Structure 1
């Protein structure tokens, strides 16, 4: 799949893309790297932990040889700590459905506003076997614009959690992996 001549490449082996993902992260988060929660070291630890979880996969967008952004996700099992950390418990039926957790998505600043984040998101989900996708978003990110973007993609708020003591409280959002055509285009 391409969007604006962007080629999306899949990766399931963290060793092949580790330094690339870290470089993009460091560029996107440059203004926050002084905060221990957002440091490259902490991100590297989170990335390694996520990549060791079942079903880990990344999608990376390239303009020629230059990576422009990525998203990665993994499968969440019914008894995963992901569910137990929710501030408001979710129904058992939600936790037992096959779920993919979108753990991180980054797009270099000059590539934003072109629909590439959505294209990468959709490409990542296109071949996933899970029924639902969940993500966490800082409700303050972009002055609330990031959360609103996800709402436009069909996500709905279901709970919140604070994955790390020194990190922000995040809004938990959920939607079906396969969205009907009318819903998939909502807001765009």
Structure 2
């Protein structure tokens, strides 16, 4: 399997549509929920694309977009930190932190290492000292969080 990874720091119409197509497929079982609707995701994506440090990696198998991950930079006063359940260690936000906002891979490419490759490419050229990702510990009975923990 030859997967091409494409990095982006801006959101062109074509790139946006490819990401939305993958998102709709990945989140299909949840699209009936308001927060997971494609329109709701598109609004968040458009906002995130204008925020500091936006970066996106899209994976393609031929011309077919198959997976994505995108991120932003968060600093001490960023609203992102208000969602933390546990208090952050002192000094955690003294320097900018890379926040992975979303990762998704279409079902036929799951379990192939594609998500990890996309994740690693997203991080490869970043300058932040730390990276964080919020994940629902119940997602897929804890398997999603366990997978991310194996990535460090």
- What TM-score do the two structures reach when normalised by structure 2? 0.94
Q: Shift of the alpha carbon at 1:97?
A: 2.6
- Counting only pairs closer than 5 Å after superposition, residues 9-48 of structure 1 correspond to structure 2 as 9-16=6-13, 17-48=15-46
SS of 2:45's equivalent?
helix
The normalised TM-score by structure 1 is 0.77
Q: Distance in 2 between matches of 1:87 and 1:149?
A: 20
How many residue pairs were aligned?
151
Question: Deviations along 1:139-162, whole A, 9 cap, x unmatched?
Answer: 1111110000011111xxxxxxxx
Q: Which structure exhibits the higher relative contact order, with contacts defined as CA atoms closer than 8 Å and separated by 6 or more residues?
A: 2
Runs of 4 or more consecutive aligned structure 1 residues displaced over 6 Å after TM superposition: none
Which structure shows the higher strand fraction? 1
Report the RMSD for the aligned CA atoms in angstroms. Answer: 1.2
The residue correspondences of 1:83-122 to structure 2 (distance < 5 A) are 83-122=81-120
CA distance in 2, matches of 1:138, 1:150: 11
Structure 2 spans left out of the alignment, 5+ residues: none
Separation in 2 of the partners of 1:96 and 1:84?
16
Structure 1: which 5+ runs fail to align? Answer: 155-188
In structure 2, distance between residues paired with 1:104 and 1:134? 11
- Contact between 2:19 and 2:65, CA under 8 Å: does it hold in 1? no
